[in-house]
Chain A
């Protein structure tokens, strides 16, 4: 690994903490409904929104708090309605305005897949951005859900945190209030600022028709334009990941240079990292939030460095004499297939781990063309359940589920009733935590097994041999954990994969979200008990180690056998001289 790579990763993470800490404090104020520096501009929008929803906007009479069941019902209904409307919008786009290329309706399977994908904050791209969705669909449908699915995740996190901070309470907050506040106070201003900065760097933002260029050699080039920057800003901040263009943030008009790349990559991790600090504020013990972000870093850093190292390795099957693959100040070297010159190895690998650690899924390089190990680490980051940063809100509530499992494991070792943040962890919490961990994992493995058994599944792969299996495993890992990135060679727009992935995304989203709200409801009812000498402190290195251990162990036990059939065997085939390739 080059010195530059280490320095880049180090400075990147320092910048991340620098921005995430104050943002975490800000989001805590938003969660509590306190006034902040931007209140003068944003509070009127919040009141307007509450009134538009038909809720009380009078601070003296806030809307009623909800039980966990009511909260979950609100989430499910707004998501369900969102899916239906988005399907209708796509099927009707051919006869709607703002459709300069006159694109028609996608198939029902693809529309459903895209709708589920955006409402579940997955943003798996079955559609080919610039050629199959009209700007109207992209803006009105996809961009809106980019905000709302992200706001939903953060709202559910707030509800879970209230489960810890409330005592003997039947309620865990009002979903609509959380939903409105997060959208108006957090996502909208951040996206607005980031969008404008991205435009200054060359990310396009126009409603004009495509640009026509007569090239230097006299050919014609028709370039798709569109309102890209406004959508890219929220796609990164909301861990959505669905790009305007087919190749997402590898497209030079979506991510033109090193600065736009740095900002977008920071935006991917910004809110998931900030929410750790928010958590500390809201449970009135900042050390608790710090412990969780340290746990995330403890997994993220080694995975990132390993991915950089893997991609810096030349493909052993290429002619070593004719090619120069050594990194230097004049070239990136390594495995440049499917990578952009301006990002080289390090920025592509750093992005690949950031986008899969967070459940973002946008790409600035083609993951399908990465080395076997370079593709393995991002795949594992998704399979860990999207809890290392993870989706906005959903990543942290997922990690808190693992924290519950970790204190339970610790409690078993010493024979005490486990506690987390002053709440006893009992049967109900463990049942729900197990469900939240097992459902997505089961979906990945069963879905992969099904796909490799049926001809439609096998026929969708683009690469032969073990790599084809990796494509399918990666797709299901991505869908069932709401990531959205892909080994792009897989033809996932046939009915089989479109429907299988729709199911996977629904299981991955609501199979975790509903149990988490059930935990929140159960915890809120309990009385907080003061910590005693026998309580395991959950802010120290012992707990952090235990938490990381539980996350990695669950992931390893579940997925190593399947990984052995894909990236691991491909790595061995490639690096065995004379080894047989497909």
Chain B
């Protein structure tokens, strides 16, 4: 009995050692090696650069507050680093992704949504159209870069006014940024707010 136990214990230790190397080291290293060689942009966070400096990951949302930008999904977290501490040399902690986890019957949820409705209304008092639900509900990750096409169109009047564009011009730009469903079937039609706002900035900076 004891020898059986000892024998199995030895095999277990050898198994864990061998597979830790194969699966815990070699497998991720090989995947990383191939990814870095063949798909380095995607493997490193799909970053976009302006003047050589990273200004966004096209996959990660940024909080927008200026009326000149389209706004993204509300977030239960702060999707940017906290203000730099006095000791500016410290490496900032990466942002911890999170949803609100507020249940449907939680009065805090109802209040948060009512507050967001008020903010949107205040930013564009003339716009009395119903607000698409995705524009007032917190995303799952807190880092959602997308909104629905309806949520983008709802914001047309405000952004057009702030940028001095006509709504028709702006609508064409939004239309060009609508990504349809995969094979016309999977996922949802979406607009990448980060890309759309980059396109807006580029348009305004054109000589």
Identify the A interface with B (CB < 8 A).
4, 7-8, 11, 45, 49, 52-55, 70, 73-74, 77-78, 81-82, 85, 101, 128, 130-131, 139-141, 143-144, 147-148, 176, 179-180, 183, 188, 191-192, 195-196, 199-217, 219-225, 227, 229-231, 234, 245-247, 250-253, 256-259, 261-262, 314-315, 317-319, 321-325, 328-344, 346-348, 363-366, 368-372, 462-467, 470, 487-489, 570, 573-574, 581-582
Contacts and interface: CB of A to CB of B under 8 A. Distances in A.
Contacts of A324: 129-133, 150
B81 A220 contact: yes
9 contacts: A204-B43, A213-B60, A229-B35, A253-B59, A323-B133, A330-B148, A331-B133, A332-B188, A338-B139
B141 A252 contact: yes
A211 B91 contact: no
B23 interface: yes
Interface stretch (B92-100, B155-163, B164-172): B92-100
Shortest Cβ-Cβ A-B pairs, 4 listed: A258-B187, A489-B101, A224-B94, A344-B188
Given A231-B28, A251-B143, A212 B181 contact: no
A205 B40 CA distance: 9
B10 interface: yes
A224 B31 contact: no
B61 A73 contact: no
Given A52-B14, A141-B24, A330-B150, A252 B39 contact: no
Given A317-B104, A488-B98, 10 more contacts: A81-B13, A140-B25, A199-B31, A205-B35, A227-B28, A251-B97, A321-B130, A341-B144, A369-B104, A467-B106
A44 B78 CA distance: 50
Nearest to B33: A205
Contacts of B61: 252
A178 to B, nearest CB: 12
Contact of A179 (B15, B131, B133, B141): B15
Contacts of B45: 204, 206, 211, 223, 225, 253
Contacts of B47: 211, 213
Interface of B: 4-5, 8-20, 22-25, 27-28, 30-32, 34-36, 39, 42-47, 53-57, 59-66, 69, 73, 79-81, 84, 91-107, 109-110, 113-114, 117, 121, 129-134, 136-151, 153, 181-182, 185-190, 194, 197-198, 201
A212 B54 contact: yes
B34 to A, nearest CB: 6
A202 B104 contact: no
A342 B181 CA distance: 9
Contacts of A130: 94, 96-97
Contacts of A200: 39, 42
Contact of A489 (B25, B53, B91, B103): B103
A363 to B, nearest CB: 8
Contact of B101 (A7, A183, A196, A488): A488
B104 A371 contact: yes
Contacts of B18: 49, 52-53
User: Which of A207, A319, A337, A467 has the most C-beta atoms of chain B within 10 angstroms of its own C-beta?
Assistant: A337
